[in-house]
Amino acid sequence: MKVNWRGVLPAITTPFMEDGSIDYTFFAQHCQWMIEAGCVGLVPIGSLGESATLSFEEKRELLKVAVQAVGERVPVIPGIAALSTAEAVRLAQAAEEVGCSGLMVLPPYVYSTDWREMKAHVDAVIRATKLPVMLYNNPPAYKTDFLPEQIAELASEHANLEAVKESSSDVRRVTALRALLGDRLNILVGVDDCIVEGIQAGAVGWIAGLVNAFPVESVALFRMAQEVREGRGDRARLDALYAWFLPLLRLDTVTKFVQLIKLTQEMVGMGSARVRPPRLEVVGDELETARRIISHALEQRTQLPL
């Protein structure tokens, strides 16, 4: 299946049962809910999917369930991350075997070093399959920063490198990539609270987090931002929706973003706040603050200009 990078692609969460096992039934339902709301693809087993706490077998099963749940409607583009290059290559090949349509390739967990070694890692993963690839640049989380010039170098060497998920939180990176590459790569925003700014700078897609709880609102926000950039949208409506959404979107930008997004899912009735250790659910003042933000947004939800 050809990957459509232009739209909202959920970095989909991994649901857990009370005993810590994966709730595959709910995961399938959640995948379907996302695409019924207008999302153009799914990105499972990424950072928000708690990939680092999943076994290889669990990752493979999640990908099988996602592919079966969505059929030919949208592509499944899993996060490919591991401690070693060999494990990342194995996961990329498994993803292709179970029917995924693309890959989101990350630098290795834990080990971060110079461009020569990091390039060798992503080179190996990109070459492991024929699937379209999106490079994931998230220097705050992974301590590896793929600079625009380095991304351009990869793009010149790999025809199947089609996109980059830019999560540096610096929208100037979008501008720099477009200046170097034009339309050679699809640029997607990976930080929720700069999506409108990213689209204005030229990004064409959004790997979103809060979409797991607010898919309709996420798709509407993306569409409005695109329309405004193209000169045919209503800026006042976009500003009103963004102002409502921003306190929620900022939950995606902190260390406990997984816990907070899953809490939001639980409060809207679409999921559980359960996470896998070493993560723990938020408690005390942290929990009350998050609940106030989410509750206030829910109170205002019926007034949104969708």
Residue 63 in contact with residue 95, Cβ under 8 Å?
yes
**Tokens representing 151?**
């991304």
User: What does the pLDDT read at residue 141?
Assistant: 86
pLDDT tens across 35-58, in order? Answer: 999 999 999 999 999 999 999 999
Tell me how far apart the alpha carbons of residues 122 and 143 are, in angstroms, rounded to a whole number: 15
pLDDT of residue 95 exceeding 90, the answer is yes
Compute the average pLDDT of residues 175-183.
Answer: 96
Which tokens in the block code for residue 180? 């170097």
DSSP states along the chain: -----SSEEEB----B-TTS-B-HHHHHHHHHHHHHTT---BB-SSTTTTGGGS-HHHHHHHHHHHHHHHTTSS-B--EE--SSHHHHHHHHHHHHHTT---EEE-PPSS----HHHHHHHHHHHHHT-SS-EEEEE-HHHHS----HHHHHHHHHH-TTEEEEEE-SS-THHHHHHHHHHTTSSEEEE--GGGHHHHHHHT--EEEESGGGT-HHHHHHHHHHHHHHHTT-S-HHHHHHHHHHHHHHHGGGGSTTHHHHHHHHHHHHTSS-----TT-----HHHHHHHHHHHHHHHHHGGG---
Report if residue 250 sits inside a domain: no
Inside any domain, residue 116: yes
Are 187 and 178 within 8 A, CB to CB? Answer: yes
133 occurs within a structural domain: yes
The answer on pLDDT for 164 being more than 90 is yes
Within a domain: 286: no
pLDDT exceeds cutoff 90 at 86:
yes
Q: Which of 24, 59, 142, 165 is catalytic?
A: 165
Active site residue 136: yes
Report residue 150 as tokens: 């380095």
Mean per-residue pLDDT for 22-44?
Answer: 98
**Which one from 59, 136, 142, 262 is the annotated catalytic residue?**
136
Is 207 annotated as a binding-site member?
yes
**pLDDT at residue 75 above 90?**
yes
pLDDT of residue 1: 84
Dist. CA 226–CA 222, nearest whole Å: 6
Residue 196 in domain: yes
306 pLDDT higher than 90? no
Instruction: Please say if the pLDDT value at position 5 is more than 90.
Output: yes
- Residue 186 token pair: 């699809």
- pLDDT digit string, tens, across residues 224-271: 999 999 999 999 999 999 999 999 999 999 999 999 999 999 999 999
Rounded Cα distance, 249 and 184, in Å: 29
Q: What total of structural domains would you count in the chain?
A: 1
Average pLDDT, the chain: 97
Structural domain contains residue 90: yes
Q: What is the pLDDT of residue 185?
A: 98
- pLDDT value of position 79: 98
CATH code, domain with 46: 3.20.20.70
pLDDT of residue 305: 86
State mean pLDDT over 296-304. Answer: 94
Q: Is 111 a catalytic residue?
A: no
pLDDT computed for residue 182 by the predictor: 95
Residue 242, domain member (yes or no)? no
Q: For residue range 215-234, what is the model confidence (pLDDT) as tens digits? A: 999 999 999 999 999 999 99
Q: What percent of the chain has pLDDT over 70?
A: 100
Is residue 259 a part of any domain in this protein? Answer: no
pLDDT at 124: 98
122: containing domain: 8-234
